[in-house]
Structure 1
Amino acid sequence: MIKKLRGSILILTAIMIVILTGCVSKTTTANEKKGKNENLTVNIGIQQSLGPLLIAKEKGWFEEEFAKVGVKVNWTVFQSGPPHFEAMAANRLDFGAVGNSPVVAGQAANIEFKEIANVSDGLKGNAILVPGNSPIQTLKDLKGKKIAVAKGSSGFNLLYRALEKTGLKPNDVKIIQLQPDEAQPAFETGAVDAWSIWEPFVSLQTLKKNARVLADGKSLNVYSPGFLIARTEFTKEHPDLVVRFLKVFEKAHLFEKENRNKAIQLYADAKKIDKDVISKVLENNESLNLPTSEEIIKAQQDTADFQYSLKAITKKIDTSKVVDNSYIKQALQELKEEQNK
């Protein structure tokens, strides 16, 4: 009887040790994560565009989520995509959202980054604008005219593709390289004749400033997809944080999709733009959060080959090499599993 009792006590003791060891292990793991991330700040770049990244920023969702693992968040505002890559090259930026042309230029410049998600197709998100009373009626009428565009941006690629399709050469027009904050007053005052730009500027100008869309990606059959990008070294050192970033972005993406009126109000408050303009922006440039498809990769390759033909980039590149869909697939799968619990 005593032997049996001793045996039972030993078994119970062993069970308790396993349970306690498990608890200690879990606590240690959590603490180790916080310790590993101690003094770590995630740097996120954002442009003037409307989209889930802005929703998450305004609601503080990245700060809230990263704080769970002891990570701080720092935001940097950029006027266009190309400066994101300069910042990544200097290790001052970890995440960002950019258009197609900056990605191509960044890869050609050997900057280490990965496309971690496709967030728009951009067919109507970029356009070439002219004033409502302009005599310019067709793309051919741009010959000899002054056109504002941000160098290396998605608007830059759209403009050059439009000229090619029309039979014009870049030196047939006067290209004025201006960032959006400089191009907007130049366009509105007539200092330039046309402007190749993206949303929300397209809808703002057409709805509020009587501008006309001369051509867009849809009319030209030119994709201008948008991507979430991450610094390669960061993805290797903190793959868990890349997945966490994408899960927060998806939360914001679903908020925009399922709560359209609230999202429009949030954008209106954040950017001081009329709600009818924002509604048009969302209609023209639907947000996505998906793995980059073969179709989009091909569209990117077409862009890269075209820019190489122009010598806008100095070497041929394989655009599939910067695509890494593993993080977005994992993020969406984890969210699905969490939802089914």
Structure 2
Amino acid sequence: MLSKFFQSRLLNILLGFLQRFKLQRIRIFFLLFAAGLGLVLFVSACSSNTSDRVATTQVTATPNQSAAASSTAVRIGFQKAGTILSALKAKGDLEKALASSGASVTWTEFPSGPPMLEAINAGSIDFGYTGESPPIFAQAAGTPLVYVAYDPWSPKGEAIVVHKDSPIKTVADLKGKKVAFAKGSNTNYLVVKALEKAGLQYSDIQVTPLQPADARAAFEGKNVDAWAIWDPYLALAEKATGARTLIDATGLAPNRGYYLAAKSFSEAHADTLKTVLDEVKKVSDWAKNNPAEVAKFLSPALGIDAEVLELAEKRRDYGVLPITDEVIAGQQQVADAFYKIKLVPKQISVKDIVWRN
């Protein structure tokens, strides 16, 4: 009896174990099935959402691209003392000329040419005007720009001045003296050529790089010995302080001005660029024939007496002219002079960045 009891008991234990084992397998099966089903549903949902997002992006991108293609924002850099672009901005004629094509215009003021061309390099502006030196430095630095036209301006429109009571009588007397100018500007080239003519090296002077407003304060405070500057600041220094001209650019530098554009803008919006140049020329022609009116027009914006501005206007020339081989050769001389004294890090070819429209 005892033996049968234990046998029966053992059999019950085994049956119970098998039943629990089956249940456990069934539970595992269902758990795995549920997990797999959940994963499939999750992937399906994600794929659906991703498709929805892609579809939405494609639908919304098309109108934006169409809007970009049908309108252009022309971003212009100008110097307050730059007669033509300042007048063009004030008159509003460019905005009217571009309105029919859906293009708009924005204006950004700069103290001089070098920071303006830095803005072209940064992609912040499309068009601007500077003296002859800034584009040399910009090209050497790899800025993607092109020459689109030039302005003859005048060698009389820039000079190196000293205080009216200064003992400095010749350029040779500048040896060891502090000379202020905007580094990389057109007057930087004037200084280089003036020193060369006087038999001095660029290193013979104490270069004091200052933008016009700061240079004017330093000059009037006699914190510098000389100042290389362009009109109308030159005319202002002569009128306000009796500054004496040591030498102007006659026979040293052509002192041309250049209209420049971002390379990408000139390639993508050639027709718009031509319209801009047409409007610039109209204002230039008006300014050439009306120096007194130009002076009165710009006086409030510049904070300079109209009498001083008129002096500056009368000793300059005007024009929006195509870039010729002669002009390119002149710019190449500027580039070579800067490279010779290591002001630019490499030799450049000016003709490589002339707009061929």
1:320 matched to 2:351: yes
Q: For residue 223 of structure 1, what is the aligned residue in structure 2?
A: 254
Q: For residue 219 of structure 2, what is the aligned residue in structure 1?
A: 187
- Which is worse superposed, 279-288 or 89-98? 279-288
Amino acid corresponding to residue 333 of structure 2 in structure 1: D
How does the TM-score come out when normalised to structure 2? 0.78
How does the TM-score come out when normalised to structure 1? 0.82
Distance 2:292 2:172 in 1: 40
Q: What are the within-5 Å matches in structure 2 for residues 1-341 of structure 1? A: 36-38=69-71, 40-218=72-250, 220-324=251-355, 326=357
Distance 2:149 2:166 in 1: 39
* Cα-to-partner distance string for 1:83-109 (whole Å, 9 max, x where unaligned): 122111111110000111111111111
Distance 1:51 1:241 in 2: 22
- Identity percentage over the alignment? 36
Distance 2:259 2:275 in 1: 13
Is the Cα contact below 8 Å between 2:182 and 2:210 reproduced in 1? yes
Aligned residues: 293
RMSD, aligned α-carbons: 1.8
1:65 Cα offset (Å): 1.9
Q: Where do 4+ consecutive residues of structure 1 move more than 4 Å?
A: none
1:203 Cα offset (Å): 0.8
* Cα-to-partner distance string for 1:318-339 (whole Å, 9 max, x where unaligned): 212222253xxxxxxxxxxxxx
Is the Cα contact below 8 Å between 1:117 and 1:325 reproduced in 2? no
Distance 2:289 2:356 in 1: 25
Distance 1:120 1:267 in 2: 21
1:134 Cα offset (Å): 0.8
Q: 1:259 to 1:170 in 2, by over 3 A?
A: closer
- Which is worse superposed, 99-108 or 62-71? 62-71
Is the Cα contact below 8 Å between 2:78 and 2:108 reproduced in 1? yes
* Cα-to-partner distance string for 1:24-70 (whole Å, 9 max, x where unaligned): xxxxxxxxx987333x3211001132422111111111222222211
Is the Cα contact below 8 Å between 1:45 and 1:93 reproduced in 2? yes
Q: Which has the larger radius of gyration?
A: 2
Is the Cα contact below 8 Å between 2:190 and 2:252 reproduced in 1? no
Runs of 5+ consecutive residues of structure 1 not aligned to the other structure:
1-32, 327-341
* Cα-to-partner distance string for 1:118-151 (whole Å, 9 max, x where unaligned): 1134412221111111111100111111111111
* Cα-to-partner distance string for 1:261-308 (whole Å, 9 max, x where unaligned): 322211223222222211211122222111123322221111111111
Distance 1:90 1:146 in 2: 32
SS at match of 1:75: strand
Amino acid corresponding to residue 141 of structure 1 in structure 2: D
Distance 1:160 1:52 in 2: 27
Distance 1:304 1:144 in 2: 25
Distance 2:70 2:215 in 1: 41
SS at match of 2:143: coil
Amino acid corresponding to residue 63 of structure 1 in structure 2: E
Is the Cα contact below 8 Å between 1:130 and 1:193 reproduced in 2? yes
Is the Cα contact below 8 Å between 2:84 and 2:284 reproduced in 1? yes
